[in-house]
């Protein structure tokens, strides 16, 4: 679905209201151009535009083209995997002296999912209007299925992050102040029922990249049943929990073993014929200077997964289940948000810390990084220590750790600059912590060796490939977790090893590695899904104190364990939501009361 546009239905209605309008008609007491929800829609194409607006909204949530801090927080900042560098301390989401139910992030995330729900409800209502005609029953069924998928997807996110929330299935035409919250179990169950109702109305594949397919519903059903089982177990309903875990496995099986998807395990796609990749290192990081040296890298099939024209299932990528659509031509002509600003937002800032050795913002340093979000020492190093080091996902072309000095006066000119030199490990602890916050290895998911658009004025800030929302390895890891919760640690280890074997890891896990705190699965998710998964969803969905314990252990800054003096496994209900719903009480989530 290239050239996807953010089309606001209110704006569309306003435009429609002026079509054919003249002053005499406009002044009539009953003007024919006065539009309501009931008469604003006349074609099925208009309903599809409502769906398109949801696709566009979710794309913006995943790729954050306008660099909203609350979206960085939603996507994982403040967890065990991501934090902020010293130059962004004001944007922290890990100082609990400043995090409470009034924090803007919670309201923005909560309300953005109700925006999706509202749009989905609008599409569902409009689809049944008597004046709408459809080319076929299949076309209508698919439109309804997409809307209900989005509604379920929104409630899955709300349930994982906030727990029990009001379930709204109709569009509102008047203010309402008495929404009744559901329980977390009821929120999950509603989303499950939605997806099960429309599973077979979704096609297995489509010719249009980005559109929802059956595998996306099945993946979400697996996650929802896993979440449901975890909550049931927390409430003491172990037998029902086991049944839910079994359904999580069944739904994951449909995706993993259904014959549509498979892991990529050989070179493919737009750069399949390239046997090597050369990155040029310019003197002082400027292309007006001579090339000081080159860095030669060897491509592999994991790297292929993150190249332009390789992300969609329609591109031959057999592990892509759902991808947000990015298109460079659309970016230039009509959709300025059709970009991945990843080199800019996630890229390190070597020039701040090691300017005597490394200079510039070219490909040799990962592009024009300003590090809005960094990766913790856990995500960059600890998951690859010791026996975990030998891993394709830790290979040089996937997770680059070598940087050649390009400053002519540096003793490391044309040599690899050691990390202990870059980190200045001989300095005091504060300096080390500051330096390690701002420079780190560069993933192929956030930077490339060939930037699109340089001839048009682009500056190595943005990528122009599509972006995964669901990829098959996550389904496999969901199944591994469900198996472990069923007591089948050997089966869980086997699923983890499917990914480790694909990554050509020397060490394969055993049942004994599958610890009761799920560290092995969470570590494997970090290796496989860095910059992809919504880490907050994962940690909070798992219940107990898993989230807070890992945050305390792996946070980069000392104020995090110092201020995180309480336990929680849900975000707080935004205080504005509680206050606005004045005619029906909404209880605050445990741990956040009176904060």
| pLDDT by 10-residue block (mean), the chain, 595 residues | 36 32 42 69 96 98 98 98 97 97 98 97 97 96 98 98 97 90 98 98 96 98 98 97 98 98 98 97 96 96 98 98 98 96 98 96 97 98 98 98 97 96 91 96 98 97 98 98 98 98 98 97 98 98 96 97 97 97 96 94
Helix axes 44-63, 137-162, angle to 10 degrees: 30
Query: Distance between CA 403 and CA 414 in Å, rounded?
Result: 9
Question: How far is residue 555 from each of residues 64, 77, 129, 378, 477, measured CA to CA in Å?
Answer: 23, 10, 52, 9, 24
Would you kindly state where each structural domain of the chain is located, as residue ranges? Answer: 275-304+341-463
Instruction: Report which secondary-structure segment, H or E, holds 278.
Output: strand 277-282
What per-residue confidence (pLDDT) applies to 33? 56
What per-residue confidence (pLDDT) applies to 26? 36
What per-residue confidence (pLDDT) applies to 510? 98
Answering whether pTM is above 0.85, one says: yes
**Which of 102, 203, 209 has the alpha carbon at shortest distance from 574?**
102
**How large is the greatest C-alpha to C-alpha distance in the chain, in angstroms?**
82
Q: What are the φ and ψ backbone dihedral angles of 324, each rounded to 5 degrees?
A: -75, 145
What per-residue confidence (pLDDT) applies to 427? 86
Q: Residue 465 in contact with residue 306, Cβ under 8 Å?
A: yes
Query: Distance between CA 195 and CA 180 in Å, rounded?
Result: 22
What per-residue confidence (pLDDT) applies to 28? 46
What per-residue confidence (pLDDT) applies to 336? 96
Query: Distance between CA 269 and CA 315 in Å, rounded?
Result: 7
Residue labelled with tokens 């490990």: 425
What per-residue confidence (pLDDT) applies to 36? 77
Query: Distance between CA 486 and CA 302 in Å, rounded?
Result: 31
At residue 514's C-alpha, the angle toward residues 508 and 520, to 5°, is 70
Q: pLDDT tens for residues 444-468?
A: 999 999 999 999 999 999 999 999 9
The tokens describing 523, both together, are: 């570590």
Residue 292 three-state SS: strand
Query: Distance between CA 364 and CA 529 in Å, rounded?
Result: 24
């Amino acid at each position: 679905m290239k050239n996807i546009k953010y089309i606001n239905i209110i704006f569309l209605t306003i435009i429609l209201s002026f079509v054919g309008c003249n002053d005499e008609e406009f002044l009539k007491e009953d003007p024919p151009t006065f539009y309501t929800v009931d008469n604003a829609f006349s074609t099925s194409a208009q309903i599809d535009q409502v769906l398109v607006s949801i696709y566009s909204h979710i794309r913006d949530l995943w790729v954050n083209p306008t660099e909203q801090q609350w979206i960085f927080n939603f996507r994982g900042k403040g967890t065990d995997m991501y934090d902020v560098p010293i130059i962004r301390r004001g944007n922290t989401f890990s100082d609990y002296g400043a995090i409470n139910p009034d924090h803007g992030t919670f309201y923005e995330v909560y309300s953005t999912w109700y925006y999706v729900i509202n749009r989905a409800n609008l599409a569902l209502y409009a689809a049944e209007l008597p004046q709408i005609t459809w080319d076929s029953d299949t076309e209508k069924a698919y439109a309804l299925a997409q809307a209900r998928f989005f509604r379920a997807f929104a409630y899955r996110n709300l349930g994982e992050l906030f727990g029990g929330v009001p379930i709204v299935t109709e569009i509102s035409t008047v203010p309402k102040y008495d929404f009744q919250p559901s329980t977390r179990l009821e929120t999950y169950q509603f989303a499950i029922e939605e997806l099960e109702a429309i599973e077979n109305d979704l096609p297995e594949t489509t010719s249009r990249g980005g559109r929802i397919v059956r595998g996306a519903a099945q993946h979400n059903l697996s996650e929802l049943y896993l979440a449901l089982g975890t909550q049931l177990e927390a409430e003491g309903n172990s037998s029902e929990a086991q049944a839910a875990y079994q359904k999580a496995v069944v739904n994951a099986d449909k995706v993993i073993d259904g014959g549509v998807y498979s892991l990529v395990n050989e070179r493919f796609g737009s750069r399949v014929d390239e046997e090597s990749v050369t990155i040029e290192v310019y003197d002082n990081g400027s292309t007006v200077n001579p090339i000081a040296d080159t860095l030669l890298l060897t491509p592999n099939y994991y790297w292929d997964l993150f190249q332009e024209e390789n992300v969609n299932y329609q591109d031959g990528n057999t592990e892509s289940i759902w991808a947000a659509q990015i298109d460079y031509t659309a970016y230039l002509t009509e959709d300025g948000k059709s970009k991945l600003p990843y080199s800019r937002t996630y890229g390190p800032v070597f020039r701040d810390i090691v300017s005597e050795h490394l200079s510039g913002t070219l490909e040799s340093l990962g592009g024009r990084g300003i590090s809005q979000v960094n990766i913790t020492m856990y995500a960059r190093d600890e998951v690859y220590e010791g026996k975990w080091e030998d891993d394709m996902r830790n290979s040089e072309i996937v997770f680059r750790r070598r940087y050649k000095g390009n400053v002519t006066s540096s003793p490391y000119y044309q040599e690899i600059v050691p990390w202990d030199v870059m980190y200045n490990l001989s300095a005091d602890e504060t300096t080390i912590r500051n330096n390690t916050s701002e420079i780190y290895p560069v993933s192929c998911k956030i930077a490339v060796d060939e930037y699109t658009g340089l001839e048009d004025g682009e500056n190595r800030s943005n990528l122009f490939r599509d972006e995964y929302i669901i990829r098959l390895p996550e389904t496999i890891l969901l199944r591994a977790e469900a198996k472990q919760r069923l007591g089948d640690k050997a089966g869980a280890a086997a699923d983890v090893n499917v990914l480790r074997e694909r990554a050509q890891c020397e060490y394969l896990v055993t049942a004994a590695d599958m610890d009761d705190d799920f560290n092995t699965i969470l570590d494997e998710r970090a290796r496989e899904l860095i910059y992809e998964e919504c880490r907050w969803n994962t940690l909070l969905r798992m219940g107990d104190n898993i989230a807070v314990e890992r945050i305390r252990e792996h946070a980069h800054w000392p104020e995090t364990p110092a201020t995180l003096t309480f336990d929680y496994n849900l975000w707080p209900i935004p205080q504005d939501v509680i206050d606005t719903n004045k005619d029906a009480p909404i209880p605050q989530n445990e741990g956040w009361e009176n904060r």
